[in-house]
Chain A
Amino acid sequence: MRKVLLPTIIIVSALLILARLFYLQIVDESLKLKSDNNAIKIIYEYPERGYIYDRNGTLIVANQPSYDIMVTPKDVKNIDTLELCKLLNITKADFIRIVEKARVYSPRLPSVFLPQLNKREYAAFQEKQRKFQGFDIVKRSLRDYQTTAGSNIFGFITQVNEKKIESNSYYKSGDLIGQQGVEQEYENILRGIKGVKYRQRDKFNKDIGSYKDGKFDTIAVQGEDIKLTIDIALQEYGEELMKNKRGGIVAIEPSTGEILALVTAPSYDPSILVGRERSKNYTRLYNDSIAKPLFDRALLGEFPPGSPFKILTGLVALQEGVIDERTTFFCNHGFSYGRGRFMRCHGSGPHQLLNGISQSCNTYFANAFMRTIDKYKNPAQAVDIWSSHIKSFGLGDFMGYDLPTGKKGLIPSSKIYKRIYPNGGWRSTTIISNSIGQGEVLMTPIQLANMMAAVANEGTYFTPHIVKKIKDHRIDDKFLTRHKTSINPMYFKPVIEGLHAVYNGGTASALRIDGIEICGKTGTAENYSKINGKRTQLTDHSIFVAFAPKDNPKIAIAVLVENGYYGARNAGPMASLMIEKYLKGSISRKDLEVKIYSNDLQKEYAKYISGQPFGINGK
């Protein structure tokens, strides 16, 4: 018995292996198809990419046909290389280099030989194609932009890279894929699904019909059209206003969270990233490390928010019950807090909440902040409570919008101060700069805009989003859910009155628009940069946040102009013009418009890199 065991195991195992082999080799037919069989040629049919429309149904991104010449290195036989090179206007060295690269990718699979031919080049090649064995033409669609604006929103399409090919079996060498912006975020919807045809070939490479009567073939599924929340006219206008400046504008519809405009400057015409010049142009944009045209300041720029942050300081103080509408703080050109430290303020006199906001009084909000923090025995606990109120506006974190890039900004919690002051000893006065949006606090323009939307809605907001409708289906439910801030709605009323007063006798009284009641807040944010290793103060960022109309708000907006000096100088007029443009459709104050157009900040930016000493804030 003991002698029999091993031989039995051996024979049983061998039979098991044979059975498995029989199944794989004889029974299971799908494996034969999957094998890249010599006799089967796979032909892909590329569907047209979905169109992109703006919120009003204006077509903004369409397609144009383009032709790629593909090469399958193994099949290249007996061709007149010289003739081919001449026809396509390339050198023999190019030819050898491209074919060699294709061979490294795969000798049996097609790679792009020459991408994106126009119709004329295509016609010339097609006439002689039969002479060049191993070369095929694949028709793809390229983007055809109907606007010069919105490049940061759209992103672009490009040939898929090798890493993606490896990680996702859908993509084959030479396929196009969306990168950045909506093109990347909604790639699967826009691209559709390519069709596959299996054709049988004999050993002379001649097509001898479909494989298994097309049992495995699939039909291409068209990409779906997308409707954006963007108002393209507003977007174009915003980019126009931002010319020769750096910064961002974000406009949101408070009642839905729809992004009406998402402007970053400097920007570029999206059509320069289409066609054979794409790579050259992209490299040029990529290498501009000073102006950074590929850096979406509206989503990625983290700035100290400055005075607009006082709105939140006030709201939190009201919610925590440490101030009310009538609480009065006396300002004497500033606020001194402990041992000779002094926060300057431009105004003076007794301030209550309303004129505290409209006059943007530092003293008022420093006091309100101090009371908030000092309400609790332990400053760590107090800061965390304050921090969670602020974060309930969607700040200090990625907001969850449907664009692929973002920054968290920074809303400090006690953890950060414990790290900065490991020995403790920090108190409300240590961190008082946060009360006026300086200090540790950082926000992106889209966060500023969202904050305004939440104020406009009296304490609720929707996650900002860029896509309004995808052909036949609804957008993600997360964009239809109303988020609540931790501030009681009743506290928004007095703050909104204060924001309204900003336009009526306050810091933005020169920017009123007839017939539109605007609520806004100016901001002038100090900022620093390292120049030759030295921390140097630069001209203040000009910031403005607003929403309008006061009742039933239609637009909430944040404008940030890097080094644009005080808020009412650049950002304020731009916000006011954008609001007028969106609500009225046209601009009545042409003089203001001209003033902004002619406000060229390039000289300001040039100062910082000139290497010469420079003055700031107009000096």
Chain B
Amino acid sequence: MAKEIFMPKLSSTMTEGTLLEWFKEEGEEVETGDPVFEIMTDKINIEVEAYEDGILLKKYYKSDDIIPVNQVVGYIGETGEKVPDTPPLIDDSEGEAAGEAEESDETPRTSASEESGEKEELETSGSPDKVRATPAARAAAREKEIDITTIKGSGPKGRIHAADVTAVPQTAATPLAKRIADDHDVNLQEVKGSGVHQKINKQDVLNVVSSSTEEAQTTEKLKGVRKITAERMSESASAIPHVTMNFSVNMTKIADMKKTLGPTIEEKTGRRLSFNDLFIFITAKALKRHPELNVTFDGETITYHEAVHMGTAVAIDEKLFVPVLPNAEASSLTEVKNNSATLIEKSRSQSLAVEEMQGGTFTISNLGMYAIDSFNPIINQPQGAILGISAIEDKPVVVNGEITVQPVTTCSLSFDHRIINGAPAAAFCTTLKQLIEEPYELFV
């Protein structure tokens, strides 16, 4: 017997989920554990796996459909098994209903005919793609090459009459113009004709084609990670009074250190040491010295964290992920390198587990590879602060009264002024600057 696939209820507050994508087609074989479709809740995206082996018999919904929890989304069973044409309604007393259905073989004829009557009603009401139009209207639409589904009918029940078609502005066009319009998917209704009686000629269509190429644009409905990012960004930006402090950091010594430590780290991890790893390492140490920056805030209560769980913003195509490197303050540089590399790879393959994106206490957003002088990062709620890092550039630096050229970057700390004041934030910035400029202090 075919088994239902349900929209799962993933949390106590979840009432509905959005179907993002089917991974299987109807008729395709499914094994237990295979991801069948992906859904998005108000919190996360998750792949729903099959609990049965069999054939995916039915898909009732398509991408972007919003489906209540526990609704039947499809069926898995054996080839040829019958499943309902429409998804069964959610029924709490499902067991009982099934029992009744089995008995119905013996039920009197009346109930059977009632059932078929209901079905008929559904079928007649379920043909929204049929157009109610008179033959004359259809003939007129054919002749004028108007898509009849675009016409509004003035007759009873919206029936389209010939006059409704005639009322659509005339779109006479030369055969060549029509062909060009066809090739470029141009709707002749939207082309203004310059010929006699507004007849559309080749040039009219070409004008539209060229103008539409200039203005070419695509649209995309926000969903998944992007939708969540958008919501959280606007929430953070509007709810938190951000203050951003910019400070420049001389990178000379840390660059030396990177050069010195690089081969050792590469030998131990098989990976190249990056400035990002050093920033994570040093920032975690700095936070350890300024616990008032390593906080989360739920709107009422400030939580001070003993450990530094360091979030790192990772951009994959248009998506933004912030995997969390746990206990960064206690990690060696090798551990930082290994862990962050793993997290970045997982971000790339979009296989991060939910828990790998949770529990961060501070975030670093590094745009060092771009030509950025400074920027105001938006705080990753519920964290209290975020550090932005811009590009390293050779700049004139005064050393002992002499102008020298040295590598310099700008760090930008955004903090939540509801819970962190300017002085401690500035003190943290100063510590961080010192630790980067004089990394030997790390051993103090």
Same complex for A and B? Answer no
> Interface of A with B (CB < 8 Å)?
none
> Interface of B with A (CB < 8 Å)?
none
